[in-house]
Amino acid sequence: MKKYKVYWERFKRALRVKGGEVTDLVNQKQDALLEPEDPIYQKKLHPDPEPDKGVLTRGGIDVWFFLIVLGLILYGVIMAYSASSIYAAQYHDDSTYFIKKHLMYLALAVVATAPFVFMARPWFWKFFAICAYGGSVVLLLAVLVMGTMFGGANRWIAIGPITIQPSEIAKMSLIMFLALFMSKYQKQINTVQKFGGHFTYGVVGPVVIIGIICGLVMLEKHLSGLIILGVLGIVVMYLGGTKLKWFAGIGVAGVTVVGGVLLFSDYARQRIDTWINIDKVDPLGEAWQTLQGLYAIGSGGFFGRGLGNSQQKYGYVSQPQNDFIFTILCEELGMLGVIILMGLVVLLLWRGYKIAENAPDKFCALTVYGLSTKVALQTILNIAVVTNSMPNTGISLPFFSSGGTALALQIFEMGIILSISRYSYQKK
């Protein structure tokens, strides 16, 4: 605990105020200001610790990653307004109701994230990972006691006009805390002992970390969140060095957990029954949203009806600004719009993995791998849901679904990646 108090003091020094202006000590050249945990300081103590990777440098953010994220944000803003305007005018007497909320959360997220992007050092994110994981556990417990019902699910905590979905925070915190654990015990994980170091630190430890979060989310009967958390945990474990042979057992445990949720959740069973028997379910009842979404997708063709010209958003697709916004995108912009979206997501994944390859340490690399994968995974699952390739489980489309805390967290997660991108290995 004493160690992290020292980290906190270092963070406060990094935000020291002089004459009313915040001084960014990270950018100062004096060696005396470098902390022992700083990669640049370590580089001075141990020249060329990883000669194959090149020289560790500190500079600006990764411009390409920033531009890709900016492209997704702007694309999302355009579609959020187009998809929500009719619904907002009908239910809130203001066609800009949802886009104003979207832009407000977006602006607040950018303002709150910017200082971390340019001031936070790699060691800070390790400290943050511990706080975020602990905070997520507390919030997931709190939502079971004081949660707010919405759409038949109890997954939100209302704080005045703001609602927080703890499971969204849990996704980020799980990635970072698991990355911290895997990096801290890298030597033990890489051991060849079957039931010694590797099994304890490469399997048992990570499974406990994932299990705590997934267990609490399971109590919410939040099937989509449970699936995403499980997959993200497996991705970080695999990239962290867990041997492939152990994933068979982990997979069996995962299937058992999901099966348990389905067995004891009428809500989840009903969704699966609708998915399997979509042609037999009442088209004006449980199958309504799925069928109307499919009609929207099918009517778009290659070039779409044109931006703003969707017919299905006129009361047919329920709340088109949220989970089913992809269907409106397909109807208005057609396959061309989908290609642009998927192209941006693929570029983000590629650039994120590139940043991870050159990251200053294992923790930073696993964090970037996990957060980049999260965007791609949620995009794929959202598309799978709205195309009826999997049950309708309520998965938002990153950067597009009308904003709240989920959008703010997505911006913050991209800020973490940009912050880490400032420290990278460059070829000599």
For the residues of 20-54, what is the DSSP string, one character each? TEE--GGG---GGG--TT-HHHHHHHSSSSSGGG-
* pTM for the structure as a whole: 0.84
Q: How many percent of the chain have pLDDT more than 70?
A: 78
Instruction: Tell me the β-bridge partners of 423.
Output: 58
Could you count the other beta carbons within 10 Å of the beta carbon of residue 37?
Answer: 18
Which whole-number Å values give the CA distances from 269 to 132, 263, 383, in the listed order? 32, 7, 21
Which whole-number Å values give the CA distances from 181 to 27, 137, 186, 208, in the listed order? 29, 17, 8, 11
Read off the pLDDT of residues 373-408 as tens digits, 9 standing for 90 and up. 999 999 999 999 899 888 877 788 999 998 678 899
Categorize the per-residue pLDDT at 244 as very low, low, confident or very high, splitting at 50, 70 and 90: confident
- Cα gap 151→353, rounded to integer Å: 36
Read off the pLDDT of residues 313-350 as tens digits, 9 standing for 90 and up. 988 888 888 889 999 999 999 999 999 999 999 999 99
User: Quick one: average pLDDT of 59-63?
Assistant: 88
